[in-house]
Amino acid sequence: MTPNLDEPKTIEELRSWFKERGYEPAQTRFFVGVDFRAPKAFGIYQDELGEYVVYKNKADGTRVIRYQGNDQEFAVHELYQRFQQEIINQQTRWTASQSNNNNSKWQENSFSYDSYERDQLRNERGRKLPLIILLVILSFVLTVAFLLRLQTKLGRNFGLLLGFIPFVVMCVVMLFSYTWLNGITMREYLRTVPAPLKRAVITVVFVVTFIFAIPSWEIGENGYYSINNNLYYRAGGNWYHYDDSRHDWEHSYSVPSQFTSASWSSYNNTKSHQGSYEFFETTDYYSDWKEAQRSYSESRDYDNDHDSNWSSNDWDSGYTDWNSDW
């Protein structure tokens, strides 16, 4: 068992965790510290012998004991992990239901404009055209600028993708502009495009992107880099330089272009540095970097209940599989 550092370890901590996040037992059917006997329920409690019991009451009222013993932390972990799984199940079902509702609304309102309104919109082309031209140019320029900045930050050479990706973005903007100019929706326009043509365009885009990416997407590894007796260390998106006079590492805001070129692997070593140096792994920079990685990993693994749209109020215990043993 390898629980998250912030994971509840006692029944009281688990009860507080549920309460702080607005998960009510009557709604979720998860009962903490209660020997709940009705069908369709999960729970944990301490019996009269001092043992911790984790259980599930199935739809027919049958009780399945998941764990019974003296290890409170393990018992709490079992119920906590089952609740995390149920959160994912609830979010998935909720998202699917919202998608179905949106499709129904679109079908009811698919004819947004009548013929007269479309004619009026087409008459506005002259006023829209200058703005469209500006948007198309900006889409290309801003995409290039973004990729250049991302390339520098990640220490990667995007190569031909620097030209291809902005071109694709510009084409997408032009397509949306065309539909706006003609007063139609994107869905209506795509219906007029033959299916073989749509498949061909998608295939070409993916194939060309893949071909361009093979020689150009050079991923530099974290670790030591050296050139002309200068020693560097890459830690994620940050670079550090070893100051031989101060015998200490310092943050570097620029690095030799060779480190982010296609030949980066030739410099991924300490061969070009003469003399002794302090290992970067012993510095606070390294410790902070590793701590940030750990925190990010934990947030990805255990923060499934922080969906931007779904909340505990959307919980529907009808989505839960009450016929399985756990």
Residue type, 113: Y
Report the Cα 211 to chain-centroid distance in Å.
26
What's the CA gap between 322 and 78, in Å, rounded?
17
Q: What are phi and psi of 122, to 5 degrees?
A: -65, -30
d(CA 42, CA 64): 10
Identify residue 27 by its one-letter amino acid code. Answer: Q
Between helices 161-181 and 195-216, what is the axis angle to 10°?
Answer: 150
Instruction: Give me the tens of pLDDT residue by residue for the chain, a chain 326 residues long.
Output: 445 567 899 999 999 999 999 999 989 999 999 999 999 999 999 999 999 999 999 999 999 999 999 999 999 999 999 999 999 888 888 888 777 666 655 555 544 444 555 555 556 666 777 788 888 898 888 988 888 877 666 656 666 777 788 888 888 888 888 777 776 777 777 777 788 877 877 787 777 666 555 544 444 678 899 999 999 998 877 899 999 999 999 998 888 888 877 677 788 888 888 888 899 989 999 988 888 777 666 555 545 444 456 777 778 888 888 988 88
The residues, any chain, with a CB within 8 Å of residue 158's CB and separated by 6 or more, are: 147, 150, 151, 165, 216, 217
Q: What is the pTM of this model?
A: 0.39
Q: Compute the C-alpha angle 269/273/274, nearest 5°.
A: 140
